[in-house]
Chains A and B, each alone.
Chain A
Amino acid sequence: MARRRDYDVAVVGGGLLGAAIGWGLARTGQRVAVLDEGDVAYRASRGNFALVWVQSKGLGMPEYAAWTRRSSDRWGELAALLMDETKLDVAFARPGGFHLCLSEGELENRTQMLMRLHNQPRMVSYPYEMLDREGVRKLLPEIGPEVVGGSYCPLDGHCNSLRLLRALHTAMRARGAAYLANHVVAHIEPRGGGFRLATAAGDVRAGKLVLAAGNGNARLAPMVKLGAPVRPQRGQIVVTERVRPFLPYPVVTIRQTDEGSVMLGDSVEEAGFDDSVGSGVVAAIADRARRMFPLLGGLNVVRSWAALRVMTADGFPIYDQSAECPSAFIATCHSGVTLAANHALELAPMIAAGQLHPDLEVFSARRFDVPKAGRA
């Protein structure tokens, strides 16, 4: 018996992942609903650092480096499509980016780490350079005396990530996707090849399901026989008043936004579901930034915030398709900005076609089922 289906696809999660996938699905002609929580949700998509970053990603999983580079390469196309469909400029720039080191020890560690990364079998090839102090100073003349060098990768860039989230939402709705706020999903029932989602605002039925609910995926995934062992990892960010452009390249912990603010990051703390700001961490972030660029010491701080990354045990994303409910997919990562191009332009069409590409098998959560004793 045919059942009425409200939508072809229900995407659970309205952050950068859910919105990118929802827009991508709508572009393929699917009837899409994006289910979101309310304003009290933990929203990594509103607290991130807005880098579109390649260097240093993928040590331990070269396929992740390739996936990241692919998204970075398609980001210009993503920005142009969003501009075309929404007239919103997400301020994508790809001048290359820096990782700066404040001691010889840091520089040595950085050098070794990038060598190990690029020496991996199956590693995607892309350019990067280790620079000494003079090499860095030619491109970043404002560095402080403690900067001994750093790494530069021409593929790195950044954007305005709040505008990205807005543009994705605008674009997906313009293509007919329904954005359903305050639809916290309590229960998912696989039914007749599709799904019934019991939500705080009533039932939603869809033929396919995409879980893109960030840390909420840990609770939802088992309902469709998927796994999402993710945990919140807190990061804090400090923002200064707007100043005239002085930093032509993003640094992994310091970048100047298109509107002039300077964002300082990025800390890593295991704090559970606690997104409060701590003055100790904020002070450490500000101090390190001031040592890299002493001019920052004269600026007023106007905001600081904390947000929760969505982190797996190995730090790599999960893309998976349920073996028992093959119309159910899951996507989770902590690089929703960098990977937005892939999520909209590559992953969404695969989901629309009902099958993840075999290249994505390496990102299955089944990798966490390996007995711990067997791991290095």
Chain B
Amino acid sequence: MFRRLVEPERASVRLMVDGRPVTAAPGDSVAAALLAASVVACRTTPVSGTPRAPYCMMGICFDCLVTVDGVGNRQGCLTRVREGMVVATQQGKREVGR
């Protein structure tokens, strides 16, 4: 659905998304990396369970919440990818301990 306007020149960053290896460009936000990897629905809402995708990409809408390295409800668009990062799409509410 999404494709990059310019393919990155530098070496890519490797992360895991729901147990699957995904490569991203250095400097990508987690939300951008997910969209580029065709992971569009990044979570479901906590009350009605409706799917949500990254929307505003600037920290306002909170629709891109994902679990990053075991911490739930992280804003994907404000979190930069890092080598070895473990990302999980989030089903409903986060857990209080993670």
Contact = CB atoms under 8 A, between A and B. Distances in A.
A241 B94 contact: yes
Contacts of A242: 46-47, 93-94
B52 to A, nearest CB: 13
Interface string B62-95: 0000000001110000000000000000001111
Nearest to A261: B46
Contacts of B92: 244
A244 B92 CA distance: 8
B11 interface: no
Contacts of B94: 241-244
A244 B73 contact: no
Contacts, number: 35
Interface in B16-67: 46-47
Interface residues of B, number: 12
B8 interface: no
Interface residues of A, number: 14
Nearest to B97: A295
A298 interface: yes
A299 interface: yes
A180 interface: no
Contact of A300 (B47, B73, B95, B98): B73
Contacts of B72: 243
A299 B71 CA distance: 10
A3 B49 CA distance: 57
Nearest to A262: B96
Contacts of B95: 243-244, 246
Given A241-B73, A244-B92, A300-B73, A260 B46 contact: yes
A299 B96 CA distance: 7
A222 B98 CA distance: 56
A142 B47 CA distance: 24
B46 A296 contact: no
Interface in A275-334: 295-296, 298-300
A259 B94 CA distance: 12
Nearest to B47: A259
A244 B94 CA distance: 6
Given A241-B73, A244-B92, A298 B47 contact: no
- Scoring B71, B73, B96, B98 by chain A CB atoms within 10 A of each residue's CB, the highest score goes to B96
A241 B46 CA distance: 10
A300 B72 CA distance: 10
A298 to B, nearest CB: 7
Contacts of A241: 73, 94
A295 B96 contact: yes
A259 B49 CA distance: 12
Q: Which of B47, B93, B98 counts the most A-chain CB atoms under 10 A from its CB?
A: B93
A334 B11 CA distance: 63
A241 B95 CA distance: 10
A259 B46 contact: yes
B88 to A, nearest CB: 14
Contacts of B71: 298
A255 to B, nearest CB: 14
B93 A298 contact: no
Interface string A233-277: 000000001111010000000000001101000000000000000
Interface in A203-255: 241-244, 246
A246 B72 CA distance: 15
Interface string A126-142: 00000000000000001
A56 to B, nearest CB: 27
A296 to B, nearest CB: 7
B91 to A, nearest CB: 10
The 4 closest A-B pairs by CB, nearest first: A242-B46, A243-B96, A246-B96, A244-B93
Given A242-B94, A243-B96, A246-B95, 18 more contacts: A241-B73, A242-B93, A243-B93, A243-B95, A244-B93, A244-B94, A244-B95, A244-B96, A259-B46, A259-B47, A260-B46, A295-B96, A295-B97, A298-B71, A298-B96, A298-B98, A299-B96, A300-B73
Interface of A: 142, 241-244, 246, 259-260, 262, 295-296, 298-300
7 contacts: A142-B96, A243-B72, A243-B94, A244-B92, A244-B96, A295-B97, A298-B96
